[in-house]
Structure 1
Amino acid sequence: MVEQSKTVDTSRKVVNILGIRGIPAAHGGFETFAGRLAPYLVEHGWTVNVYCQESGKADYEDDWNGIHRIHISSDAIGSKGSVVFDRKCVADVCERPGIDLVLGYNTAVFNTLQRLRGRKVLMNMDGVEWRRDKWSFPVKIWLYANEFIGANISNVAIADHPEIARHLRRHGCSNAVMIPYGADRIESAPESLIERYGLKSGQYLISIARAEPENSILEIVSAFSSKKRDIKLMVLGNFSPDNAYHCKVRAAASDDVVFPGGIYEPEVVSALRYHALAYLHGHQVGGTNPSLVEALGAGNPIIAHDNRFNRWVAGDQQFYFDSQSALEALIDQIGSGLDLKQAGAAAAARHQAEFTWLKVNAAYEALLRTCL
């Protein structure tokens, strides 16, 4: 167990957050979520411990904005480093009081120790990771096994989308509950933050996603680049010259496609969303995707891949495509056939109804209370 820097609050309202790299968030949906939930819980009388990954340092503890951070070292890199970190976190948390909130199931095999110790474990089950084409067969087997373990050893399995909850119940998890991801409402943003990229408000489309085939990035870029446009397309994300798919996307792009790389300044990303004409979302699988929820919070009209995941999140008043040609036709209608103003208002209303941080955090706090 890590040497504790201060006396740990042993009252019943203690929650330990595991499964993330740490807070404050550099990037990542779970890290961002933990960075919003933890302060909310502190304000509501909880002692919150958050596990944070360190590289090449001794284990230590500190406090940040009323949150107790437990820094665990892991010298290994990549996936191996994450596995080592998760294992060490589980070993440490078993010696502490509190309810354990585990974000993600990728190493759920280790979380069985918490249940064997009689601890209460709530686990956010993320998406159906083992279905993703990007994983090799051995990795898919690992993810499938850990999804099954996580769903069945946790006291409560949390799904961020109704379809994920149904998937878990079909596989024998009767205790699944649904709490979606959240996002801030963006009602203004400095236009100066987008000018550095050669953009003007309302004169570009935006896509924010990992450049992977299942996110339809090639289809989005190809559909937009099929003809000369009076607007630009902003594609946020990292593109490597050593990745064949990334090279294919860049080769398909017209001169009006902007590739700024990864942008991790929240205020800049918010401004890019807010001033966009519409948001293009190509995700074909997953649950409540953070980027789509954030687009709703920005009041963006949505043009999304047509599947049950995206339709539940964005609602029926947005625009959907099931092929590259269908997407091209929708882009052609911008400025004429598509009522973007109505879609933008519907997006903001959908966000307010389901995806505010206040609503999401309150749901988690209420769930934690049931475990006391």
Structure 2
Amino acid sequence: MKTIHILGIRGVPAQHGGFETFAEKLSLYLIEQGWNVVVYCQEEGDGDITESSWRGVRRIHIPIKRLGAAGTMHFDFKASKHALSQSGLFLTLGYNTAIFNILQRIKGQVNVINMDGIEWRRDKWGLLAKTWFWLNERAGCLIGNHLVADHPKIKEHLETRVSSKKITMIPYGGDAILNAEPSLIVPYGLEPLQYSVIIARPEPENSFLEMVQAFSKHPRKHKLVVLGNFQPDKNEFHRKVIAAASPEVIFPGAIYDAPVVQALRFFCKFYLHGHRVGGTNPSLVEAMGAGCAVIAHDNKFNRWVAGDKAVYFKDMQSCAEIFDHLLKDEEAFKEMKLGSIYRFNERFTWERILKDYEDLLIKWHPKAIESKQAKYQ
């Protein structure tokens, strides 16, 4: 039986973000294809490493007392160390602690690394964090036996580090949302198509301020729902965004109830995506899967994902002009929705993404076996 160990996430079932959702989808898919799947899971607390089973996935639970980034780093180190006693193929999601994966390379284990986005370019990080991410990106390129890029432009970036033969491009996937429960948006005072939505982490690089300022430039007779964990008492940027908002802007906080988030996407007029850095963004793919008409920041990452039927803005003024025009243009709205659905079905369905991953892992699994056999010859 083929065996895969998944490192670099907090665990399954998914509770924390895009990589966890992907790991859950991939794990269950591979089990259906006859694989033995092992996932390392971070737990709060102290004590011994334990194991459990979830829907056929073998979970290795590693308790960590520290919180935040330090705790994640400690978990990644302990998971990499524990993995040395395991056999099979390894898949590491993200390169933020890739330096620890040198343990697998020294042991002769075969490790495929998904290199995620260009983390060290993000505005939110200070110099120390950017340096750490930059060094780990370099380490991941050198240490990984093979690399996965989730966007053609990420692949081009990695090709400045290693040979293109060492990189496979496979984007993020999503589910097609064909219907949703309208009652789920009622508690927020919303009606279908009478609002637009932003769903992202409220960071400067995600254009929150520009989008809220553009919408709030004058009354719209329309609402803008801004999801995210805003902490204005602690974060100056959050205070600026809230201060810039007109009465038509709603801040319901961070919502983790998947059916509610799906309903907010499905019934919205426009989905706003302000990300300026990164590869294939999960939230954008999920919006396209829900058939959202997309208004996105104009950059090479978003243009490849959302395609030529989305509408793009460069700054606050161009975003405001888009609102002025599109809120009144029903034909353009319908064409944008159809464009999202077409582009999603063309490239981002989970069926295609997971099959692409398995095809890649099948190529590397025999090499993991050969590496183990060579060690004992």
TM class by shorter chain equals: over 0.9
- Distance (whole Å) between structure 2 residues aligned to residue 171 and residue 243 of structure 1: 36
Q: Which residue of 2 aligns with 1:334?
A: 326
- Distance (whole Å) between structure 1 residues aligned to residue 152 and residue 316 of structure 2: 27
| Displacement after TM superposition at 1:336 (Å) | 3.0
Q: How does 1:295-334 map to 2 (within 5 A)?
A: 295-334=287-326
1:284 paired to 2:276? yes
- Distance (whole Å) between structure 2 residues aligned to residue 109 and residue 335 of structure 1: 49
Q: Which residue of 1 aligns with 2:343?
A: 350
Q: Which of 206, 209, 212 in structure 2 is aligned with 1:218?
A: 209
Q: Which of 6, 29, 41 in structure 1 is aligned with 2:18?
A: 29
Q: Which of 105, 128, 136 in structure 2 is aligned with 1:138?
A: 128
Whether the 8 Å contact between 1:41 and 1:48 is mirrored in structure 2 is yes
Q: Which residue of 1 aligns with 2:370?
A: none
Q: Which residue of 2 aligns with 1:236?
A: 227
Q: How far does the alpha carbon of each residue in 1:108-131 deviate from its partner, in whole angstroms, 9 at most, with x for none? A: 111011011111100000000011
- Distance (whole Å) between structure 1 residues aligned to residue 144 and residue 327 of structure 2: 50
- Distance (whole Å) between structure 1 residues aligned to residue 229 and residue 163 of structure 2: 36
1:188 paired to 2:174? no
Q: How does 1:12-23 map to 2 (within 5 A)?
A: 13-23=2-12
1:70 paired to 2:70? no
Secondary structure in structure 2 of the residue aligned to 1:63: strand
Whether the 8 Å contact between 1:151 and 1:173 is mirrored in structure 2 is no
Q: Which amino acid counterpart does residue 169 of structure 1 have in structure 2?
A: E
Q: Which residue of 2 aligns with 1:364?
A: 357
Q: How does 1:116-131 map to 2 (within 5 A)?
A: 116-131=106-121
Whether the 8 Å contact between 1:103 and 1:124 is mirrored in structure 2 is yes
Between the two proteins, the alignment pairs up a number of residues equal to: 361
1:39 paired to 2:28? yes
1:148 paired to 2:138? yes
Q: Which residue of 2 aligns with 1:172?
A: 162
Secondary structure in structure 2 of the residue aligned to 1:258: strand
| Displacement after TM superposition at 1:134 (Å) | 1.0
Q: Which amino acid counterpart does residue 224 of structure 2 have in structure 1?
A: L
Q: How far does the alpha carbon of each residue in 1:328-362 deviate from its partner, in whole angstroms, 9 at most, with x for none? A: 00001124346010110110111111101111110
Q: How does 1:95-110 map to 2 (within 5 A)?
A: 95-110=85-100
Q: How far does the alpha carbon of each residue in 1:128-157 deviate from its partner, in whole angstroms, 9 at most, with x for none? A: 001111111111111001001101211111
Q: Given the two structures, how large is their TM-score scaled by the length of structure 1?
A: 0.96
Q: Which amino acid counterpart does residue 360 of structure 2 have in structure 1?
A: L
- Larger CA deviation: 177-186 vs 338-347: 338-347
Secondary structure in structure 2 of the residue aligned to 1:170: coil
What is the percentage of aligned positions where both structures have the same residue?
51
Greater than 6 Å deviation, 4+ residue runs: none
- Distance (whole Å) between structure 1 residues aligned to residue 304 and residue 354 of structure 2: 20
Whether the 8 Å contact between 2:10 and 2:16 is mirrored in structure 1 is no
Whether the 8 Å contact between 2:96 and 2:137 is mirrored in structure 1 is yes
| Displacement after TM superposition at 1:77 (Å) | 1.2
- Distance (whole Å) between structure 1 residues aligned to residue 73 and residue 251 of structure 2: 33
Question: Which residues of structure 1 form unaligned runs of 5+?
Answer: 1-10
- Distance (whole Å) between structure 2 residues aligned to residue 225 and residue 71 of structure 1: 47
1:266 paired to 2:258? yes
Q: How far does the alpha carbon of each residue in 1:292-312 deviate from its partner, in whole angstroms, 9 at most, with x for none? A: 101100100110000000000
| Displacement after TM superposition at 1:172 (Å) | 2.4
- Distance (whole Å) between structure 2 residues aligned to residue 196 and residue 81 of structure 1: 36
Q: How far does the alpha carbon of each residue in 1:23-61 deviate from its partner, in whole angstroms, 9 at most, with x for none? A: 111131100111111000000010000000011143210
1:56 paired to 2:49? no
Q: Which residue of 2 aligns with 1:256?
A: 248
Q: Given the two structures, how large is their TM-score scaled by the length of structure 2?
A: 0.94
- Distance (whole Å) between structure 2 residues aligned to residue 296 and residue 57 of structure 1: 42
- Distance (whole Å) between structure 1 residues aligned to residue 8 and residue 79 of structure 2: 9
